[in-house]
Chains A and B, each alone.
Chain A
């Protein structure tokens, strides 16, 4: 089924199809991009929130471990109060019987050994006001004050007046251990010390977060525990500026580190530091993944758009069928009156300088008799066969339209040929048409004496003046009228 692709409907459909595809693509692009962006941001926020919550939970676990560990040490020291023999003994008391003193000190030594037997203490004992000691006070501690003053030093670190105890870390004097002191009596202080590395059991960092570090700082903000010994003893405020006071929130310092802080029972603080680029490294991966998904979705959308376009726009496609119904006469498959008018009007208006236009009106002679004699179905067949003859004789350039009933219009453009040549050519084609028409129908519908009459008009585009359809076909129609008046079965050129 030959179609002409330049009807107004064609153009509208092409424009419409193009717009649909563009809108579809834009919608998909925007929708996909928006969804991807929202999902990426949402997942990123969720991930950050969860990671920080995990670090917070980890910090609180560490604090809980520490509290347990420190509490165990305090409890162990408190066991010395189980009997007055241990807690009332004063080694500094003058005039004590030497034997009684040994007996009492032996009993206290035994008690000290018993209560710390399964602990990893570097020091566990009692220091008396005269700097004498019982239990296992390490050489390191004893040598802190070789000329005396150990008791006063320890006493100075009893900071909790209510409990008469205190925790301290003195990096300058003893860098590797933490001390707990508790007053046993007026002249005696219990000392328990342990290597700060023992805290590594409490500081169980999340193994899945490489680079995560935990620190313990004392009340004076000195770093008491760190996996790396390099910053031990340094002031935490020098290491991290603007340390927060609580641990209900997290702080990102300099967009490089996530810092979570929590407080232990002895007012020391746990600081958990994790490098942001490690924590949120997966965010980059998620973004990359989202971009890949986005591209894939676009490819899918474009493919779908292409397929959709091909489905609606191709020859024999849905739009083609619609277009055919809209533009063509359903009986004869030539353009209907409106489409023919639009198309020819366009061609006349946009023709180049010197273009010659053949506008032709064709009318069946005695067609009514065919209908009356043979019925409408036979009339329809007649019209169909007529169109076939039109196509065969008028050439491939001829645009044919059904103007109504048995009246057809033909438009043939010529760009380069001379006027005389055109006239001869058109005359030759019409002769052939009339001849073929006669041969086809004369015997078949003999009683009806059917024939064909035509009126032709030749127009030329000159000086860029646009030619009009109505005017051109009125001229052809007048020529047709002449043919009819002159006895039918003939054609006439329009003459001014």
Chain B
């Protein structure tokens, strides 16, 4: 019996030791070997593409950082940006290669060009739970609609607008031009000092010549189906007017004009988009001149108003996007967020979005040259027609300018140039 008890005691001792050792081993194995997998939080990367100038690049990049931060770093945005020059070709490459960025700033003209394509734009109505479209009226959204689908949302309205260096005009005792004749009259006195009453870019030149054509001839330059309906006689008419503007020193040679020409007083006026108002006017103001937004130029015998309005730029989502929800979040941020509105201000024009507008009103940022220009647009709202996308087609306006140079610089006869032009724009 004693032996049995002894054996029992020994068993208890060994059991105690075993338990103690097992507990230690479990503890040690638990501490030394980490069998849990290392999990990294996945980040979705989407891309956003835009064109613009330094200011736009700076605030947009800053805004994208805020967007990423607001999404706890789970959505990263790859930025693709550049200047306007060549951007249309870039867009063409994106769309044709089916390699478009997830979110794009697009031109109004591109909507009709790419929306029909299989890999064009995403129907934003499918993302209305994320994008607050109630900030827009149906009429405003209609600019981005095709066949009942919403392919793009307009950011602001844009129209060519005249900006003048009032100081120069006043120095010659001239009133701010209201008619084409006023410009020619101004050129007569300013040319003596090498100053041009007007300077502009080739796209604005083309739109201006179209406006003049429509005013004088009282005809539509674009058919109902959106295609051009410029006859050779119309082209010749525009060409003549262009040559007159150059020859009589009304218009600064297109290739010599840039923003600095306006800000340094070499050109006393310019025709530019509302969204470019501050770009042109602020440096001039900084140089001490008074800047004024002018009326749309008219001819005394005009049969038609001739000037057009369009959405400044639009936002669209690529139909090929793998991340429509993330893209929609970015779009909502760009269109309606307070942060983006504050950073963007009126750089792209007066925002259409009620939310963005309210954000700007709160901080009295709804002001400046864009506001003045937009007020001017509002004044003519009932007379302005919708700008037909074909008129913004680079091959059309660039083709016009490149070929017109042969006539402007007397390299070819007018007839020859009209023939070349006709071929180029059709």
Tally of contact residues, B, Cβ under 8 A: 39
Query: Of B54, B61, B405, which one neighbours A140 at CB under 8 angstroms?
Result: B54
Within B43-76, the residues touching A (CB, 8 Å) are 53-54, 57-58, 61
Within B211-270, the residues touching A (CB, 8 Å) are 253, 255, 259-260
Query: Of B17, B27, B54, which one neighbours A303 at CB under 8 angstroms?
Result: B17
**Cα separation A135 to B259 with both chains bound (whole Å):** 14
Residues of B within 8 A of A135 (CB): 85
B80 CB–A CB distance under 8 Å: yes
Residues of A within 8 A of B89 (CB): 113-114, 117
B406 CB–A CB distance under 8 Å: yes
Residues of A within 8 A of B27 (CB): 296
The reply to whether B93 and A117 contact each other, CB–CB distance below 8 Å, is yes
Query: Of A97, A114, A195, which one neighbours B86 at CB under 8 angstroms?
Result: A114
Query: Of A118, A140, A195, which one neighbours B90 at CB under 8 angstroms?
Result: A118
The dominant DSSP class at the A interface is: helix
The reply to whether A120 and B81 contact each other, CB–CB distance below 8 Å, is yes
Residues of A within 8 A of B20 (CB): 299-300, 303
The reply to whether A293 and B31 contact each other, CB–CB distance below 8 Å, is yes
A109 CB–B CB distance under 8 Å: yes
Within A184-204, the residues touching B (CB, 8 Å) are 195, 197
Query: Of A136, A207, A292, A316, which one neighbours B82 at CB under 8 angstroms?
Result: A136
The reply to whether A98 and B409 contact each other, CB–CB distance below 8 Å, is yes
A447 CB–B CB distance under 8 Å: no
Mark interface residues in B106-150 (1 if CB within 8 Å of A CB, else 0).
000000000000000000000000000000000000000000000
**Cα separation A176 to B406 with both chains bound (whole Å):** 42
A142 CB–B CB distance under 8 Å: yes
Q: Which chain A residue lies CB-closest to B53? A: A139
Query: Of B31, B54, B259, B411, which one neighbours A122 at CB under 8 angstroms?
Result: B54
Mark interface residues in A283-304 (1 if CB within 8 Å of B CB, else 0).
0000001001100110110011
The reply to whether A310 and B255 contact each other, CB–CB distance below 8 Å, is no
A119 CB–B CB distance under 8 Å: yes
The reply to whether B24 and A300 contact each other, CB–CB distance below 8 Å, is yes
Residues of A within 8 A of B58 (CB): 176, 195
A327 CB–B CB distance under 8 Å: no
B1 CB–A CB distance under 8 Å: no
Once A118-B93, A176-B58, A303-B17 are accepted as A-B contacts, the answer to whether A296 and B53 lie under 8 Å apart by CB is no
Within A140-170, the residues touching B (CB, 8 Å) are 140, 142-143
**Cα separation A445 to B40 with both chains bound (whole Å):** 97
A321 CB–B CB distance under 8 Å: no
Residues of A within 8 A of B255 (CB): 102, 105-106
A307 CB–B CB distance under 8 Å: yes
A397 CB–B CB distance under 8 Å: no
A367 CB–B CB distance under 8 Å: no
Mark interface residues in A247-289 (1 if CB within 8 Å of B CB, else 0).
0000000000000000000000000000000000000000001
Residues of B within 8 A of A118 (CB): 80, 90, 93
Q: Which chain A residue lies CB-closest to B279? A: A139
Q: How far is the CB of A421 from chain B (nearest CB, A)?
A: 39
A121 CB–B CB distance under 8 Å: yes
Mark interface residues in B186-225 (1 if CB within 8 Å of A CB, else 0).
0000000000000000000000000000000000000000
**Cα separation A117 to B411 with both chains bound (whole Å):** 32
The reply to whether B85 and A109 contact each other, CB–CB distance below 8 Å, is yes
Mark interface residues in A117-141 (1 if CB within 8 Å of B CB, else 0).
1111110000000000001101110
**Cα separation A320 to B283 with both chains bound (whole Å):** 107
B361 CB–A CB distance under 8 Å: no
The reply to whether B259 and A121 contact each other, CB–CB distance below 8 Å, is no
**Cα separation A316 to B40 with both chains bound (whole Å):** 63
Residues of A within 8 A of B410 (CB): 99
Q: Which chain A residue lies CB-closest to B38? A: A208
Residues of B within 8 A of A97 (CB): 409
A103 CB–B CB distance under 8 Å: yes
Q: How far is the CB of B17 from chain A (nearest CB, A)?
A: 6
Q: Which chain B residue lies CB-closest to A132? A: B256
**Cα separation A421 to B127 with both chains bound (whole Å):** 117
**Cα separation A139 to B54 with both chains bound (whole Å):** 7
Query: Of B279, B283, B409, which one neighbours A99 at CB under 8 angstroms?
Result: B409
A474 CB–B CB distance under 8 Å: no
A32 CB–B CB distance under 8 Å: no
B379 CB–A CB distance under 8 Å: no
The reply to whether B17 and A102 contact each other, CB–CB distance below 8 Å, is no
Residues of A within 8 A of B79 (CB): 120
Residues of B within 8 A of A289 (CB): 31-32
The reply to whether A113 and B85 contact each other, CB–CB distance below 8 Å, is yes
**Cα separation A138 to B86 with both chains bound (whole Å):** 15
Q: How far is the CB of B97 from chain A (nearest CB, A)?
A: 11
The reply to whether A138 and B53 contact each other, CB–CB distance below 8 Å, is yes
**Cα separation A304 to B21 with both chains bound (whole Å):** 10
Residues of A within 8 A of B259 (CB): 139
**Cα separation A106 to B401 with both chains bound (whole Å):** 11
B303 CB–A CB distance under 8 Å: no
Q: How far is the CB of B274 from chain A (nearest CB, A)?
A: 18
Within B5-50, the residues touching A (CB, 8 Å) are 6, 13, 17, 20-21, 24, 27-28, 31-32, 40
The reply to whether B24 and A296 contact each other, CB–CB distance below 8 Å, is yes
Residues of A within 8 A of B386 (CB): none
The reply to whether A102 and B405 contact each other, CB–CB distance below 8 Å, is yes
**Cα separation A98 to B254 with both chains bound (whole Å):** 12
Q: Which chain A residue lies CB-closest to B32? A: A289
Residues of B within 8 A of A304 (CB): 17
**Cα separation A276 to B54 with both chains bound (whole Å):** 39
**Cα separation A310 to B93 with both chains bound (whole Å):** 88
A116 CB–B CB distance under 8 Å: yes
**Cα separation A113 to B54 with both chains bound (whole Å):** 17
The reply to whether B405 and A99 contact each other, CB–CB distance below 8 Å, is yes
**Cα separation A289 to B28 with both chains bound (whole Å):** 9
Residues of A within 8 A of B53 (CB): 138-139
Once A117-B93, A293-B31, A304-B17 are accepted as A-B contacts, the answer to whether A122 and B405 lie under 8 Å apart by CB is no
Within B350-368, the residues touching A (CB, 8 Å) are none
Residues of A within 8 A of B6 (CB): 316
Mark interface residues in B399-426 (1 if CB within 8 Å of A CB, else 0).
0001001101111000000000000000
B395 CB–A CB distance under 8 Å: no
Give 25 pairs: A residue, B residue, CB < 8 Å, sorted on A: A98-B253, A99-B405, A99-B406, A99-B408, A99-B411, A102-B255, A106-B402, A112-B86, A113-B89, A117-B86, A117-B93, A118-B90, A120-B80, A136-B82, A138-B54, A139-B279, A140-B54, A142-B260, A176-B58, A195-B58, A292-B31, A296-B24, A303-B20, A304-B17, A316-B6
**Apart from A114-B86, A122-B54, A136-B83, what 8 extra A-B contacts exist at CB < 8 Å?**
A98-B409, A109-B85, A116-B82, A138-B83, A139-B53, A139-B279, A140-B54, A143-B283
User: Which residues of A are interface residues toward B (Cβ below 8 A)?
Assistant: 97-99, 102-103, 105-106, 109, 112-114, 116-122, 135-136, 138-140, 142-143, 176, 195, 197, 207, 289, 292-293, 296-297, 299-300, 303-304, 307, 310, 316
